[in-house]
Amino acid sequence: MSKKIFFAVFLMALGITAFSQEKKVAAGVGLEFNMDSRHNFAGGASVHFDYALPKNSALGLFISANTNFFGINVIESAIFYRAYFPENDHSGFFVQPYAGVFVIFEDGEITPLPLLGVGGGYRFLLGSSFYLEPVGRLGYPYAFGIGLVAGMRF
């Protein structure tokens, strides 16, 4: 079911891109290596959305699902503000503080925690619509994360 939803959203984004001159919205998927587990490292997958604001900044949302493959799973959801520098077409180096919810699923128990952090990376434009972002982040309660996001602007 989720593959069908992702494919439908992807096709709609392609259609919107064909008619849009100004690219205000970006959507991407990512993979990350992180410390979302008290016991060893974890890996995760994420979806990212952002809306371009004036002066090369953006507001966004990311949601990720992470596991250490030994019984600890985490769902993260956060909003962020992103600032690009130097200012050029919402691409290049960026920094982003964010806040949200960190939910741990372990031994049949669910533990929600506040999520606070700061991240950064570089948005490489691949043509006018597609991008790649190597990213890193530090914060609470996960310590760190490094990954790669691929997406589309429309």
Q: Which residues, other chains included, contact 70 with Cβ-Cβ below 8 Å and sequence gap of 6+?
A: 37, 39, 40
pLDDT value at residue 3: 56
Predicted confidence (pLDDT) at residue 58 exceeds the cutoff of 50: yes
pLDDT value at residue 137: 98
The dihedral through the CA atoms of 65, 113, 57, 91 has a sign that is negative
pLDDT value at residue 88: 75
pLDDT digits (tens, 9 = 90+) for 128-146: 899 999 999 999 999 999 9
pLDDT band at 55 (very low <50, low <70, confident <90, very high): confident
Q: Which residues, other chains included, contact 63 with Cβ-Cβ below 8 Å and sequence gap of 6+?
A: 46, 47, 75, 76, 77
Predicted confidence (pLDDT) at residue 1 exceeds the cutoff of 70: no
Tokens 């959507």 sit on residue: 27
Predicted confidence (pLDDT) at residue 9 exceeds the cutoff of 50: yes
Q: Rounded to 5 degrees, what are φ and ψ at 2? A: -65, -30
Predicted confidence (pLDDT) at residue 4 exceeds the cutoff of 60: no
pLDDT value at residue 140: 96
Residue ranges of domains in the chain, CATH in brackets:
23-153 (2.40.160.20)
Q: What is the pTM of this model?
A: 0.83
- How far apart, in whole angstroms, are the C-alpha atoms of residue 24 and residue 104? 33
C-alpha closest to that of 119 among 53, 45, 48: 48
